[in-house]
Chains A and B, each alone.
Chain A
Amino acid sequence: MTAFVGRRLILLPVVAFGVTVLIFALLQFLSPDQRASLYVTDPRQFDRIDSIIRAHGLDKPVHIQYWNWLKELAHGNFGWSKTASMRVSEAIGAFFPNTLELTIYMFIPIILIGLWLGTKAAVHRDRFADHFSRFFAISLRGLPSFVWGLIVLMLFYGWLNWFPPGRLSLDADLYVRSDQFRTYTRLLTVDALLNGQVWIFLDALRHMAGPILTLVLVEMALLVRITRSSMLEVLRQDYVRTARAKGLAESVVIMKHARRNALIPVITLSSLLFVGLLGGVVLAETIFNYPGIGKWGAEAAVQLDVPAVTGFGMFIALVTVLGNLAADILYAAVDPRIRVQ
Chain B
Amino acid sequence: MTVLRVPINRSLPLRAVPVLLVVALVVAAVISVSPEVRARVVSRPLDVVAFLVVVIAIVAFWSIPSDLAKRLKRNPLSITGFTIIALFVIVATLAPVLAPPTSRDPYLIPHEGFAPDPQPPRAGHPLGTTGRQFDIFYGIVWGTRTSFRVALFVVAISTTVGLILGSVAGYYGGRLDEIVMRVTDIFLAFPGLVLAVVVTAVLGKGLDKVMIAIAIVGWPTYARLLRGEILSVKQRDYVEAARAMGGGDLRIIFRHVIPNSIYPFLVVAAFDMGVVVLVAAALSFLGLGAEFGYADWGQLINMSRSWILGVPGNPFIYWYTVVFPGTVIFLFVLGWNLLGDAFRDILDPRLRGQT
Contacts and interface: CB of A to CB of B under 8 A. Distances in A.
Given A142-B330, A278-B194, A300 B201 contact: yes
A86 to B, nearest CB: 19
Contact of B189 (A26, A150, A309, A317): A317
A158 B310 contact: yes
Given A19-B186, A142-B333, A283 B285 contact: yes
A227 to B, nearest CB: 11
A139 interface: yes
Contacts of A30: 202
Interface string A8-35: 0001001100110111001101100000
Given A138-B77, A150-B322, A158-B315, A143 B330 contact: yes
Contacts of B287: 302
Contact of B337 (A141, A150, A151): A141
Contacts of A88: none
Interface string B92-108: 00000000000000000
Contacts of B195: 313
Contacts of A115: none
A: contact size bracket = 35 or more
Given A154-B308, A279-B193, A298-B286, A15 B316 contact: no
A297 B281 contact: no
A229 B355 contact: yes
B186 A301 contact: no
B301 interface: yes
A23 B315 CA distance: 43
A154 B322 contact: yes
A306 interface: yes
B149 interface: no
B330 A147 contact: yes
A18 B355 contact: no
B189 A282 contact: no
Nearest to B286: A298
B338 interface: yes
B190 A232 contact: no
Contact of A23 (B198, B203, B286): B198
A18 B354 contact: no
A207 interface: no
Interface residues of B, number: 51
Given A144-B326, A302-B287, A310-B198, A316 B191 contact: yes
A26 B315 CA distance: 43
A276 B287 CA distance: 21
Contacts of A23: 198
Interface in A128-150: 134, 137-139, 141-147, 150
B307 to A, nearest CB: 11
A153 interface: yes
A144 B281 contact: yes
Contacts of A181: none
Given A282-B197, A301-B200, A312-B198, A321 B282 contact: no
Contacts of B338: 138
A208 B296 CA distance: 30
A157 interface: yes
B182 interface: yes
Interface in B130-186: 182-183, 185-186
B288 interface: yes
A275 to B, nearest CB: 5
B202 A306 contact: yes
A225 interface: yes
Contacts of B185: 11, 14-15, 18
A67 interface: no
A118 B102 CA distance: 51
B140 to A, nearest CB: 13
Nearest to A165: B309
Residue from A15, A153, A279 whose CB has the most chain B CB atoms within 10 Å: A279
B122 to A, nearest CB: 22
A261 to B, nearest CB: 17
Interface in A285-311: 286, 297-298, 300-302, 304, 306, 309-310
A126 to B, nearest CB: 11
B85 interface: no
B278 interface: yes
A142 B334 contact: yes
Interface string B271-303: 000100010011001111000000000100100
Contacts of A283: 193, 282, 285-286
Given A142-B274, A306-B202, A147 B197 contact: no
Contacts of B337: 138, 141-142
Interface string B185-215: 1110111111101111111000000000000
Contacts of B309: 153-154, 157-158
A159 B316 contact: yes
Contact of B202 (A29, A157, A282): A29
A88 B331 CA distance: 40
Residue from A146, A280, A304 whose CB has the most chain B CB atoms within 10 Å: A146
B225 interface: no
Contact of A228 (B192, B288, B326, B355): B355
Contacts of B202: 26-27, 29-30, 306, 309
17 contacts: A14-B182, A19-B189, A142-B274, A144-B278, A144-B333, A146-B301, A154-B322, A158-B309, A278-B191, A279-B193, A280-B193, A283-B285, A301-B197, A302-B201, A302-B288, A312-B194, A316-B194
Interface of A: 11, 14-15, 18-19, 21-23, 26-27, 29-30, 134, 137-139, 141-147, 150-151, 153-154, 157-159, 225, 228-229, 232, 275-276, 278-280, 282-283, 286, 297-298, 300-302, 304, 306, 309-310, 312-313, 316-317, 320-321
Given A14-B185, A301-B288, 10 more contacts: A142-B332, A146-B282, A147-B330, A150-B305, A151-B322, A276-B191, A297-B194, A300-B201, A301-B197, A320-B189
For the complex of A and B, 10 pairs with smallest distance between CB atoms = A158-B315, A279-B191, A142-B334, A18-B186, A147-B326, A142-B333, A301-B201, A279-B193, A313-B198, A317-B189
